[in-house]
Structure 1
C-alpha cells in the first residue's frame, strides 16, 4: 500500500457524538409523545435520511411535518453547538504523526457543514484537514460512496492511496465502494457490524501502530 491520504468520518470517529446525538433526538421526539429507542438510534447512525425520521414521527398521535420537527430540534439544541465535545482519545497523536509524515487528511461525513465546522472550531482541529466534505454537499448519502469520492477528488487522490476510518456499517460500505482501504473503528462503544472493513481496531493507539506498520511496509 502506498498511503498518501487518510479520510475520517466524523461522528463516532473524530468525536464521540452518537450517544449525545441520540439524547438530543430523544428530547425532540418526546415533545410529541414519541419514545426514541436504542434500536432507533442504532438504525440512524451514519445516516442523514429524512425518511427514517419521518417513520419515527409517524408513531405520534397526530400528524407532524418534518418542518415542524426540525424547528423543534433547532430549539432543543445539538451536540456540535451545545454540548461538551472533544476529540477521541489518542486521535490527536495519530493526526500529528500523519501530518509529520506528509500524509494529507480529510473529513467525509453525512452531518451538515455548519455543525461539523462548528464542532471542529470548538475542538481547534480545523487546521489539520486539507478538505471537509459534508452531507449537504452531496446528493447521495452513505452507503453510496459519493462523499468519499468527492473528498478524493478535492485531495487529487487515487482510491488505492487512501485509508478511510469509519465506525458505522454503512460508512464502511461507502468507503469500500469508493475503492479505499477501510479501517473499522470501534472506540465509540456503539455496537456496529464492522466485518466488511479491511482492519478492525478499537483504539487510536492500535490504529497508530497499524498505520506505522503499513507505512513502514511502504518504505521497504
Structure 2
C-alpha cells in the first residue's frame, strides 16, 4: 500500500528544463562560450558539485561556476515572474487527488531551499505538500539515496510504503538505491536502458500516475 508520494521538482513538476538550458546559453554567451543540448542533458538531476566538475572539465577552472549557476537561476526566476511557472500537465490534478485521498506528499530535490520555496509559492502549489527536502539539506546528492531516505523520515513512512516520481537518470538511480519504488516520467532526456530497468514503470505524464494509484490501492 502506497502511503506517500515523493516528488522531484525540476523537469518533473515544473517544466523548467528547457528554460534552464536557454538560461545557460544566455549566461555563457556573455563569456563567448556555448553549451550543446547533449551536454546540458548530462547535468540533469546532478548535485551542484557534479555540475562544478563538469564545468571545469569542459571550460577550464578559470570560470566562477557558482556565479554562472546564480545568474542562470536569476534568468529562470525572471522568466517565471514574467511568464508564470510552467507546470507539467496533470500535476495539479494529481496533487488534488493525493490531498483528497490522504496521501502524504513531499518534494525531494537537488535545488536549494530558497529557490524551491519561491517556485512552489509562485506556482501556488505549496498547500498540497506536507514538507520538502532540498539539496542544501543533504550531504550527498543524487544518485546517493540520502535525499529520498530523509524524505521518508520527514514523513514518518517506510521506504516500502513510498513512491518516488522522477524524470532524471540520477534521480531514478537514487530512488533505486533507497529501495523505493520509482516511476520515471522522462523530460528532455529518455533514460538509458539500465535506468529504465530500475523503475517500477515509465510513464508519459502525471495523469497516468493518478490512474496507477487508483488501480494500485483498490
TM-score normalised by structure 1 residue count = 0.88
Alignment partner for residue 212 of structure 1, among 202, 211, 214? Answer: 214
Whole-Å separation in 1 of the counterparts to 2:13 and 2:127:
14
Larger radius of gyration: 1
Measure, in 1, the Cα distance between the counterparts of 2:2 and 2:50.
37
Instruction: Give the TM-score, by structure 2 length.
Output: 0.89
- Kindly provide the CA deviation profile for residues 14-58 of structure 1, in whole angstroms up to 9, marking residues without a partner as x: 111111111111222222121111122100000123353454356
Distance 1:91 1:70, change over 3 A: closer
Q: Which moved more, 1:111-120 or 1:42-51?
A: 42-51
Unaligned runs of 5+ in 2: none
Aligned residues: 212
Quote the offset at 1:81 in angstroms.
5.0
Contact 1:58/1:64 (<8 A) preserved: no
Q: How large is the Cα RMSD of the aligned pairs? A: 2.1
Uncovered stretches (5+) of structure 1, i.e. residues with no partner: none
Q: Which moved more, 1:173-182 or 1:105-114?
A: 173-182
CA deviation vs aligned residue, 1:154-173 (integer Å, no higher than 9, x gap): 10110000000001111001
> For residues 57 and 127 of structure 1, do their structure 2 counterparts lie closer, same or farther at Cα, with a shift above 3 Å needed?
same
From 75, 80, 95, the counterpart of 1:78: 75
Secondary structure, aligned partner of 1:44? coil
For residues 62 and 215 of structure 1, what CA distance do their matches in structure 2 show? 51
Q: Secondary structure at the match of 1:102?
A: coil
- In 1, Cα distance between equivalents of 2:185 and 2:24: 24
Alignment of 1:176-215 (within 5 A): 176-186=176-186, 188-193=187-192, 194-195=195-196, 196-215=198-217
Partner in structure 2 of residue 36 of structure 1: 35
Residue of structure 2 equivalent to 1:20: 19
Structure 1 Cα separation of the partners of residues 50 and 202 of structure 2? 30
Structure 1 residues 159, 189: closer, same or farther in 2, change over 3 A? same
